[in-house]
């Protein structure tokens, strides 16, 4: 498995810890974030990471900034990306099972590193359920691709 990790200046230490955690599991990790604590604009890391996921060059991505919000918002602007910000493992698991999230995000100023590891594990180990969830994920893609949602306009 190959993942990408992206971060801004608020999350350098956590990025390093999560990278090591993943690499110790035998997962290859591509680092597209900053390694400096100098101010770094999170959309750059979010965009770089999202492009690798969307192109299929990696199997998924981990995004970390102060809150996880800005970097995930940027990543979600890339077509095909479903990045979920999670502060606890239950949502991380469901983000994969129901929403087929291909990126997981969290905040280095919000969660501690041990909780972050649990969040990553739940997301990584969960499987997308498909079925009725596939219809809803397809609706998200319809909005992304057409700027419209036919089912919503009918009602």
Q: Is 8 in the site for ligand RB5 (CB under 6 A)?
A: yes
Q: Within a 10 A sphere around the Cβ of 153, how many other Cβ atoms?
A: 7
From the number of C-beta atoms within 10 Å of its C-beta (0-12, 13-18, 19+), residue 39 rates as exposed
State yes or no: is 65 an active-site residue: yes
Shortest gap between Cβ of 105 and ligand RB5 (angstroms)? Answer: 10
Q: Is 122 in the site for ligand RB5 (CB under 6 A)?
A: no
Stretch binding ligand RB5 (CB under 6 A), from 16-24, 65-73, 83-91, 116-124: 65-73
Cα 137 versus chain centre, distance: 16
Pair of tokens at residue 82: 């479903």
Stretch binding ligand RB5 (CB under 6 A), from 44-52, 67-75, 96-104, 122-130: 67-75
Residue entry with tokens 């604590």: 37
Torsion of CA 26, 93, 132, 143, to 10 degrees: -90
Pair of tokens at residue 115: 């909780």
Specify the residue, 42 or 47, whose C-beta has the smaller distance to ligand RB5: 42
Size of the site for ligand RB5 (CB under 6 A): 8
Q: Tell me, residue by residue from 31 to 50, as one string, x for binding to ligand RB5 by CB under 6 A and - for no binding.
A: -----------x--------
Q: Is 69 in the site for ligand RB5 (CB under 6 A)?
A: yes
Contact call for residues 116 and 106 (beta carbons, < 8 A): yes
For β-strands 60-65 and 28-31, DSSP reports them as: unpaired
Q: Is 66 in the site for ligand RB5 (CB under 6 A)?
A: yes
Binding site for ligand RB5 (CB under 6 A): 8, 10, 42, 65-67, 69-70
Residues noted as catalytic:
65, 98
């Amino acid at each position: 498995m190959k993942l990408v990790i992206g971060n801004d200046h608020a999350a350098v230490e956590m990025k390093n810890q999560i990278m090591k955690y993943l690499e110790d599991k035998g997962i290859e990790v591509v680092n597209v974030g900053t390694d400096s604590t100098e101010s770094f604009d999170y959309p750059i890391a979010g965009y770089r990471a999202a492009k690798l996921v969307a192109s299929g060059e990696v199997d998924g991505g981990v995004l970390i900034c102060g809150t996880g919000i800005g970097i995930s918002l940027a990543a979600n602007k890339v077509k095909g990306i479903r990045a979920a910000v999670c502060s606890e493992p239950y949502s991380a698991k469901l983000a994969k099972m129901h929403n087929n999230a291909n990126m997981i995000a969290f905040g280095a100023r919000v969660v501690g590193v041990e909780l972050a590891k649990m969040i990553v594990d739940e997301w990584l180990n969960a499987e997308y359920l498909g079925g009725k969830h596939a219809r809803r994920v397809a609706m998200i893609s319809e909005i992304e691709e057409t700027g419209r949602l036919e089912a919503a306009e009918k009602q």
